[in-house]
Amino acid sequence: MSNAEQIWDLESIFPGGSSSPELQMQLEAVRTQIAALQAQVEALTSGLTLEQLKTLVHDMQDVQINLGQCRAFVSCLTAQNVRDNKAKLLQGDLGQIGASLAGVFTAIDHIFVSIPEEKWQSFLEDGELKELKFALNERRDVAKIKMSPELESLVTDLEVDGYHAWSHLYYTIVGDMSIEMELAGKPQTLSMGQAANLLSSPDPKVRQGVFEKYEQAWSEKAELFASTLNHLAGFRINLYKNRGWDDVLSEPLQRNRMERATLDAMWAAVQGGKPHLVKFLERKAEILGLDQVAWCDLWAPVGDAGKEIPLAEAKTFVVDQLRKFSPDIADFTERAIAKRWVEAEDRGGKRPGAFCTSLPLSKESRVFMTYSGTISSLGTLAHELGHAYHGYVLKDAPLFLRRYAMNVAETASTFGELLVVDGAIGAASTPEEKLGILEDKIGRSVSFFMDIHSRFLFETRFYDARKKGLVSAAQLNELMAGAQKEAFLDSLKEYHPHFWASKLHFYSTGVPFYNFPYTFGYLFSAGVYARAKAEGQGFAQNYARLLADTARMSVEDLAKKHLGVDLTKPDFWEAAVKLATDDVEEFLQLTQK
């Protein structure tokens, strides 16, 4: 495959990359829109009319679409080349523009709150606004529990060079990090993303060597990262205190449109399934010739799954497996690949990790990853393209109805991943190949049930400690290792104490508690997947309808409407967990001596 087919197309969005004149014109147009919206708000007198409300709602969505296009593009630039200094400056400009818009939106939300309840609800029965009723009520309800609009606007202004700046500092430091390794007899300089990919190497010496250098690299920057994490948490804690939010999970739950009872029911079911995964890890250790699995062995392949899968073959395989469920999804995915929406090249200078971002103006998506040729990388490709399909389903909806929460954001991605990985298991030509792919699939359950849970435990305990004062790097290591031991039921030989430094999710200012939504999405999509397997291709239209509703209601209402289940009760979660533990039982049977 040529390099061009491994690199995404950004030129069709704004030609010229970070030097694009068209991008600068768009940014200037957004500034003009914000100024006009500000003037519109300032000109409003008491007694907002229905027509004024409709104009406000239209203009709010329009400016967000234009700004969102710029944000998505710049996020692609900073991901593909962490040393693109012009893109970093653009990121700063976007922060200032976003703060200006947030200030105007805060004033608008205050206007919404000031409208008497009866009049507000009568407005929402209007033909143009009725469809947006859930989103508008949500905005108004959140505004009611925040501080005064003046204080909220001040917070937004201060966030740019405070709160968000700490997050950008983290990305800057990580972008300059690398480790030196000798591979195949040649010295190589690896980005942190490339190094992380090698933790799935079939060679134990490579895994151990990379992990030691990986852990050491994060250790050397630990004081910088500890300072960054402390300031991010301190900002949130003080903001929550001034808003009167006692529980640090108040905002994450509200943003994910879910109840605490749902979160508790999910974790309880996960905890019940963990002993099965411990048996899996014990058997994996036996197969690898180890007395006990260490952190660096968690993603080591077994069987024949270690063989390289060329990117062209991976793309074809993803489309073929999706077609068995839905021609519509397969056709969309094929078009996305042909239009070069996917950045997959394995090169230095890229940001670690993978993501899919939506371009709301052009109604497209872009997928970012570093493809390594493994079965895990194949799953990641399917996962991120699943996000793109979710965006495709919603592309013509009003912007307020495209804003689904992070927990349901993982539905289409994990669903697509399950389809493709199960397809790979079914297509395995030998028992060894089937075993390897099944092991990789179970490894994802280990990640969502144990690794993600350790992040949730760590972050919860870190915030408790941070309320009492600054938390040192050594204390963070202790909290991280302790959370990992608990989440993994003390089943590993060695842990990753500097994981808190290596995981960019802890430093995200856009998403608080960037952990439990992944496990939610994994299990929720498993339940949807089970329904799809039971109903076959006939479920495809229902599946699209479910995705279309993800920004229109709470997750509890979504599950009740489309699946007929109560997420606050353990039944659904336990059934979803059982799908994962059934995989473990099959693995244990296949590997019996």
The 10s digit of each residue's pLDDT in 307-333 is: 788 999 999 999 999 999 999 999 999
d(CA 124, CA 110): 17
- pLDDT at position 306 is 56
- pLDDT at position 432 is 87
Q: Which of 6, 3, 5, 23 is closest to 73 using CA atoms?
A: 23
d(CA 171, CA 228): 11
d(CA 401, CA 68): 15
Q: Which of 217, 123, 147, 223 is closest to 178 using CA atoms?
A: 217
Strand intervals (E) in 21-145: none
Q: Name the pLDDT band for 123 (thresholds 50, 70, 90).
A: very high
Residue 72 has pLDDT above 90, yes or no: yes
- % of the chain at pLDDT higher than 70: 99
Cβ pair 119, 47 in contact under 8 A: no
Q: Which CATH superfamily is domain 3-161 in?
A: Oligopeptidase f, N-terminal domain (1.20.140.70)
In tens, the pLDDT along 169-198 reads: 898 898 889 999 988 889 999 888 888 888
d(CA 444, CA 299): 9
d(CA 200, CA 299): 5
In tens, the pLDDT along 442-474 reads: 999 999 999 999 999 999 999 999 999 999 999
In tens, the pLDDT along 224-272 reads: 999 999 999 999 999 999 999 989 999 999 999 999 999 999 999 999 9
- pLDDT at position 6 is 92
Residue 582 has pLDDT above 60, yes or no: yes
What is the domain partition of the chain in residue ranges? 3-161, 178-220
C-alpha pair distances (Å), 336 with each of 331, 355, 359:
9, 15, 13
According to CATH, the topology of domain 178-220 is: Helix Hairpins (1.10.287)
- pLDDT at position 465 is 97
Please say whether the dihedral angle defined by the alpha carbons of residues 131, 134, 137 and 143, taken in this order, is positive or negative.
negative
d(CA 442, CA 287): 15
Cβ pair 192, 502 in contact under 8 A: yes
- Higher local confidence (pLDDT), 113 or 194: 113
Q: Which residues pair with 225 in a beta bridge?
A: none
- Higher local confidence (pLDDT), 123 or 534: 123
- pLDDT at position 536 is 80
What is the separation, in whole angstroms, between the first and last Cα of the chain? 41
Cβ pair 424, 434 in contact under 8 A: no
d(CA 225, CA 219): 9
> C-alpha dihedral over 7, 25, 351, 364, to 10 degrees?
-50
d(CA 383, CA 82): 23
d(CA 209, CA 218): 15
- pLDDT at position 430 is 87
Q: Find all residues with CB under 8 Å of 481, minimum gap 6, and list them.
A: 495, 496, 497
- Higher local confidence (pLDDT), 83 or 335: 335
- pLDDT at position 316 is 96
